[in-house]
């Protein structure tokens, strides 16, 4: 059954991450996102393991967007707090994290306290498009693999520029789709990925750049990291096969949590095919709010 899209999207996203929180944390650690490798590296052979690679992706986005140390950061779609803990720890930032999942927010607050950064990293169950924070509240708006869940991306960029102080930084890393027309088989692959990952649609990196400029951002740039992150969906990295011990395990999970949980397991092969064929892409965007006007 396909999850609700549109008015029911937030509820569907909240439920998905509530019921898969422990699965992601068990498999991928504190970072519920892709890893990053250099060309020619293979996880478990001559490249970083999944924990080191996902840590590196955070550092790559910090570097690419030139996130200033000590910034006040809004972390949009904070997950269980992995990137925020890096921002609050190594960079000395003050982070407000928002997520649709109450379980994720609670777990992130637990992890922040355990890491000794509870005073600088706080997490809340809030809609990123309706946080209630005043204008110009942040020096950085950070969105690492959350924009795919937001149907109204025009509204996201408008809200980001509202929340940023003049000269502030927007840092985005996101799943995307190849720019241009897709054929029927490619559209079907994308449709299946969207269903299983509770996402409304994908935008291309080029479209993200256009939306940022239209919202009034300056110094907008994107980089394609598809090749660097594609290893994330290799079976040995995702380690999803360790749960696939027969139909009984899957049946028990579905009975306990609902059939939506099975999307977690279906995503791996679909995403691997998407990267292998070039239909699914991945990249980062950086932009700056102008200091004078828009």
Q: Is 247 contained in some domain?
A: yes
Q: What is the mean pLDDT of the chain?
A: 85
Query: Percentage of residues in the chain with pLDDT exceeding 90?
Result: 65
Q: In this structure, what CATH number is given to the domain that contains residue 90?
A: 3.40.50.150
* pLDDT number for residue 36: 95
pLDDT above 70 (res 241): no
Q: 197-207: per-residue pLDDT in tens?
A: 778 999 999 99
Query: Token pair for residue 37?
Result: 């490798």
Considering only 75-84, 126-135, 212-221, 243-252, which range has the smallest mean pLDDT? 243-252
pLDDT above 70 (res 20): no
Q: Is 1 contained in some domain?
A: no
Q: Confidence band (pLDDT; 50, 70, 90) for 233?
A: confident
Q: Is 191 contained in some domain?
A: yes
* pLDDT number for residue 208: 98
**Contact partners, residue 170, CB within 8 Å, separation at least 6:** 65, 140, 141, 143, 157, 160, 161, 164, 212, 217, 285, 286, 287, 288, 289
From 208, 218, 127, 214, select the one nearest 174 (Cα to Cα). Answer: 208
Q: Is 123 contained in some domain?
A: yes
Q: Is 280 contained in some domain?
A: yes
pLDDT above 90 (res 128): yes
The total of structural domains in the chain comes to 1
Residue whose tokens read 């004078």: 292
Query: Percentage of residues in the chain with pLDDT exceeding 70?
Result: 78
From 220, 91, 73, select the one nearest 139 (Cα to Cα). Answer: 73
Angle at 160 between CA 35 and CA 169, to 5 degrees: 65
| 24-34 mean pLDDT | 61
pLDDT above 90 (res 91): yes
pTM: 0.85
Domain of 52, in residue numbers: 6-288
**Cβ 263 vs Cβ 197: under 8 Å:** yes
* pLDDT number for residue 199: 87
* pLDDT number for residue 33: 81
Longest Cα–Cα distance in the chain: 61
Q: Is 195 contained in some domain?
A: yes
**Cβ 129 vs Cβ 123: under 8 Å:** no
Q: Is 293 contained in some domain?
A: no
């Amino acid at each position: 059954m396909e999850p609700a899209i549109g008015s029911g999207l937030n509820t569907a996203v909240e439920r998905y991450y509530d019921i898969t929180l422990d699965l992601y944390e068990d498999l991928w650690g504190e970072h519920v996102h892709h890893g990053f490798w250099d060309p020619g590296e293979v996880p478990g052979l001559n490249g970083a393991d999944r924990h080191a690679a996902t840590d590196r992706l955070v550092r790559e986005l910090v570097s690419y967007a030139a996130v200033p140390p000590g910034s006040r950061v809004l972390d949009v779609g904070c997950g269980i707090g992995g990137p925020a803990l890096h921002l609050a720890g190594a960079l000395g930032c003050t982070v407000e994290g928002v997520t649709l999942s109450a379980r994720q927010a609670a777990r992130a607050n637990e992890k922040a306290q355990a890491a000794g950064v509870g005073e600088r990293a706080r997490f809340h169950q809030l809609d990123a498009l309706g946080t209630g924070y005043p204008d110009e509240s942040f020096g950085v708006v950070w969105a690492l693999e959350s924009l795919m869940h937001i149907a109204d991306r025009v509204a996201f960029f408008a809200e980001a520029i509202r929340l940023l102080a003049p000269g502030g930084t927007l840092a985005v890393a996101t799943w995307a789709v190849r720019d241009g027309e897709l054929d029927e088989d490619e559209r079907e692959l994308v449709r299946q990925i969207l269903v299983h990952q509770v996402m409304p649609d994908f935008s291309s990196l080029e479209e993200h750049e256009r939306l940022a400029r239209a919202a009034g951002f300056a110094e907008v740039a994107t980089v394609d990291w598809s090749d660097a992150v594609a290893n994330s969906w290799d079976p040995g990295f995702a380690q999803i096969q360790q749960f696939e011990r027969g139909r009984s395990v899957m049946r028990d999970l579905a009975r306990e949590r609902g059939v939506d949980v099975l999307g977690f397991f279906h995503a791996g092969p679909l995403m691997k095919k998407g990267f292998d064929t070039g239909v699914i892409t991945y990249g980062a965007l950086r932009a700056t709010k102008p200091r004078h006007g828009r």
